């Protein structure tokens, strides 16, 4: 057991919550991600607390407070800084099946730490005594940049297969090498990832993608075989293409999740929608990512070709233009395209941007006529309408001057 003192500079709000619980005789510790990140020199506000107090007690001591996942014994408490802190009663697993756990309250911090996944996540810190309690030597693993399971790896993965992907994420995020025993068990557990729900796989992936550099985590997904199990659609990607995709993803800001997803799922081609549905992405997210992936295939206009610029915008959509250009630039850097090609791309982008700025119509909704005008011409409403309006748009794309109500009605009459 490794105990030592350290000042992790917990926020005053955390100290105050712990103080109130300890004053009533309830042992209370900070645990998990905040302790780990503080030891690594980072700081964050989401300090999670573990306590011997049961949820009803926590709720009485702190008002307002809200039960969140009461079955897990977690109460959300508002700190004096206005932030929400999660206070969770010590617990132990009594039954696990690889996907869910049945838990009960425990009396001891040590029982609570024993059910945590990795040693670096099983370090407790007492914000009043400024003392670390680290029964699994997580600090040594942090110092040596090692990811290691708490206890017997094969058993720990079998209790909850989500730990497989969590481990890949932590190793990627903190550049940890995975301990041999943990790695061997992890690889053996990979085929069981099919038992996890799409939601959990998706949430994990989004956490990987939210890191500034997502490449190390994604590389581990592939190296461990997890990628092929949870995203079989990506199985055919060759090494060189994969390396390019990782560079492209890291070349896109981490807040631009849809762009990163379009890069990652791009090779799934026509299967992107089905894949994202399985992962329970929302319809809006699916639409956005599939549209971006598809738009990447639209040929950019040559220098000076404004008509081509309008065509491109029509195909890609005004609202997606900036994102598609971002993907194009990230793609060129990732391909290590020669300078000539990049200059060319910049010129092409400028054509598109000038069309965008001109306000010239590139969509049916931007035409000077609509379905009502067709009705006044005596045309019976029906699917013909969209064909006629598309034909008007064809004409307006070639010559924006045509976008005038009278001239367009004339154009329609000619067609009738």
Name the segment binding ligand ATP (CB under 6 A); options: 68-76, 116-124, 126-134, 360-368. 116-124
Q: In the complex, what is the shortest distance from the CB of residue 319 to Mg ion, in angstroms, rounded to a whole number?
A: 34
Q: How many residues bind ligand ATP (CB under 6 A)?
A: 12
Q: In the complex, what is the shortest distance from the CB of residue 114 to ligand ATP, in angstroms, rounded to a whole number?
A: 10
Q: In the complex, what is the shortest distance from the CB of residue 13 to ligand ATP, in angstroms, rounded to a whole number?
A: 17
Closer of 207 and 256 to Mg ion (Cβ): 207
The whole-angstrom separation of Cα 86 and Cα 103 is: 17
Closer of 162 and 262 to ligand ATP (Cβ): 162
> 125 near 30, Cβ under 8 Å?
yes
Which residues lie closer than 8 Å to 192 by C-beta, 6 or more apart? 98, 157, 158, 161, 164
Per-residue mark of binding to Mg ion, 31-50 (x: CB under 5 A): --x-----------------
Q: In the complex, what is the shortest distance from the CB of residue 256 to ligand ATP, in angstroms, rounded to a whole number?
A: 20
Alpha carbons within 13 angstroms on the beta-carbon side of residue 347 total 11
Is residue 116 at the binding interface for ligand ATP, with CB under 6 A as the rule?
yes
Is residue 91 at the binding interface for ligand ATP, with CB under 6 A as the rule?
no
Closer of 32 and 266 to ligand ATP (Cβ): 32
Name the segment binding Mg ion (CB under 5 A); options: 13-21, 25-33, 77-85, 148-156. 25-33
| Interactions with ligand ATP, residue window 314-333 (CB under 6 A) | none
The whole-angstrom separation of Cα 341 and Cα 335 is: 11
Chain CA centroid to CA 407, Å: 49
Q: In the complex, what is the shortest distance from the CB of residue 166 to Mg ion, in angstroms, rounded to a whole number?
A: 11
> 292 near 320, Cβ under 8 Å?
yes
Q: In the complex, what is the shortest distance from the CB of residue 15 to ligand ATP, in angstroms, rounded to a whole number?
A: 19
The whole-angstrom separation of Cα 180 and Cα 49 is: 31
| Residue 83 burial class via C-beta count within 10 angstroms: exposed 0-12, middle 13-18, buried 19 and up | middle
Binding ligand ATP by CB under 6 A: which of 22, 112, 117, 360?
117
The whole-angstrom separation of Cα 375 and Cα 373 is: 5
Name the segment binding Mg ion (CB under 5 A); options: 30-38, 246-254, 289-297, 330-338. 30-38
| Interactions with ligand ATP, residue window 153-172 (CB under 6 A) | 160, 162-163, 166
Is residue 39 at the binding interface for ligand ATP, with CB under 6 A as the rule?
no
Which two three-digit tokens encode residue 399? 């010559």
| Interactions with ligand ATP, residue window 189-208 (CB under 6 A) | 207
Binding ligand ATP by CB under 6 A: which of 11, 32, 266, 331?
32
Name the segment binding ligand ATP (CB under 6 A); options: 113-121, 214-222, 278-286, 396-404. 113-121
Give the DSSP per-residue string, 338-382: -HHHHHHHHHHHHHHHHHHHHT---SGGGSS--HHHHHHTTPPPS
Which residue's beta carbon is nearest to the bound ligand ATP? 33
Helices within 48-197 (DSSP H only): 55-61, 109-114, 138-143, 153-159, 162-173, 180-189
**C-alpha distance from residue 172 to each of 147, 166, 221, 255 (Å):** 10, 10, 9, 18
Closer of 149 and 327 to ligand ATP (Cβ): 149
Q: In the complex, what is the shortest distance from the CB of residue 18 to ligand ATP, in angstroms, rounded to a whole number?
A: 17
Q: In a 3-state reduction of DSSP, which class is residue 89?
A: strand
Q: In the complex, what is the shortest distance from the CB of residue 116 to ligand ATP, in angstroms, rounded to a whole number?
A: 4
The whole-angstrom separation of Cα 346 and Cα 362 is: 21
Residue with tokens 């996540």: 121
**C-alpha distance from residue 399 to each of 182, 362, 373, 389 (Å):** 65, 11, 21, 15
Q: In the complex, what is the shortest distance from the CB of residue 92 to Mg ion, in angstroms, rounded to a whole number?
A: 20
In the list Mg ion, ligand ATP, none, the entry touching 131 (Cβ below 5 to 8 angstroms by class) is none
> 170 near 138, Cβ under 8 Å?
no
The whole-angstrom separation of Cα 345 and Cα 343 is: 5
Which two three-digit tokens encode residue 386? 């969209």
Pairing of strands 91-96, 177-178: unpaired
Binding ligand ATP by CB under 6 A: which of 33, 67, 98, 225?
33
Residues that bind Mg ion (CB under 5 A): 33
The residues of the shown chain that bind ligand ATP, judged by CB under 6 A, are 32-33, 48, 116-117, 121-122, 160, 162-163, 166, 207
């Amino acid at each position: 057991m490794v105990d030592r003192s350290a000042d992790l500079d917990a926020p005053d709000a955390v100290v105050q919550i712990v103080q109130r619980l300890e004053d009533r005789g309830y042992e209370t510790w900070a645990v998990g991600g905040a302790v780990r990140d503080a030891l690594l020199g980072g700081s964050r506000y989401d300090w999670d607390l573990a306590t011997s107090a049961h949820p009803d007690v926590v709720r009485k001591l702190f008002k307002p407070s809200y039960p969140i996942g009461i079955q897990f014994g977690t109460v959300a408490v508002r700190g004096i800084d206005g932030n929400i802190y999660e206070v969770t009663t010590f617990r132990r697993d009594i039954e696990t099946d690889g996907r869910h756990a049945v838990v009960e309250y425990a009396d001891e911090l040590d029982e609570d730490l024993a059910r945590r996944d990795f040693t670096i996540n099983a370090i407790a810190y007492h914000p009043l005594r400024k003392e670390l309690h680290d029964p699994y030597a997580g600090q040594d693993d942090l110092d040596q940049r090692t990811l290691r399971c708490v206890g017997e790896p094969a058993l720990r993965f079998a209790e909850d297969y989500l730990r497989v992907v969590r481990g890949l994420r932590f190793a990627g995020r903190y550049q940890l090498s995975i301990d041999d025993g943990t790695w061997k068990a992890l690889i053996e557990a990979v085929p069981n990832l099919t038992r996890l729900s799409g939601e959990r796989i998706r949430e994990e992936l989004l956490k990987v993608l939210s890191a500034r550099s997502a490449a190390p985590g994604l590389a581990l997904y592939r190296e461990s075989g997890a990628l092929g199990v949870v995203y079989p659609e990506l199985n055919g990607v060759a090494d060189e293409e994969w390396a390019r995709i990782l560079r492209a993803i890291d070349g896109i800001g981490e807040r631009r999740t849809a762009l990163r997803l379009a890069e990652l799922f791009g090779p799934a081609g026509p299967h992107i929608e089905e894949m994202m549905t399985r992962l329970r992405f929302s319809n809006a997210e699916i639409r956005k990512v599939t549209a971006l992936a598809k738009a990447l295939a639209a040929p950019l206009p040559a220098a000076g070709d404004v008509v081509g610029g309008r065509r491109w915008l029509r195909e890609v959509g005004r609202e997606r233009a900036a994102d598609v250009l971002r993907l194009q630039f990230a793609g060129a850097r990732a391909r290590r395209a020669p300078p000539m090609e990049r200059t060319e791309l910049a010129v092409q982008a400028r054509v598109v941007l000038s069309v965008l700025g001109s306000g010239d119509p590139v969509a049916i909704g931007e035409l000077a006529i609509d379905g009502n005008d067709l009705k006044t011409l005596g045309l019976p409403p029906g699917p013909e309408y969209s064909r006629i309006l598309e034909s008007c748009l064809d004409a307006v794309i070639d010559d924006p001057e045509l976008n005038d109500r009278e001239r367009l009605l004339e154009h329609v009459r000619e067609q009738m």
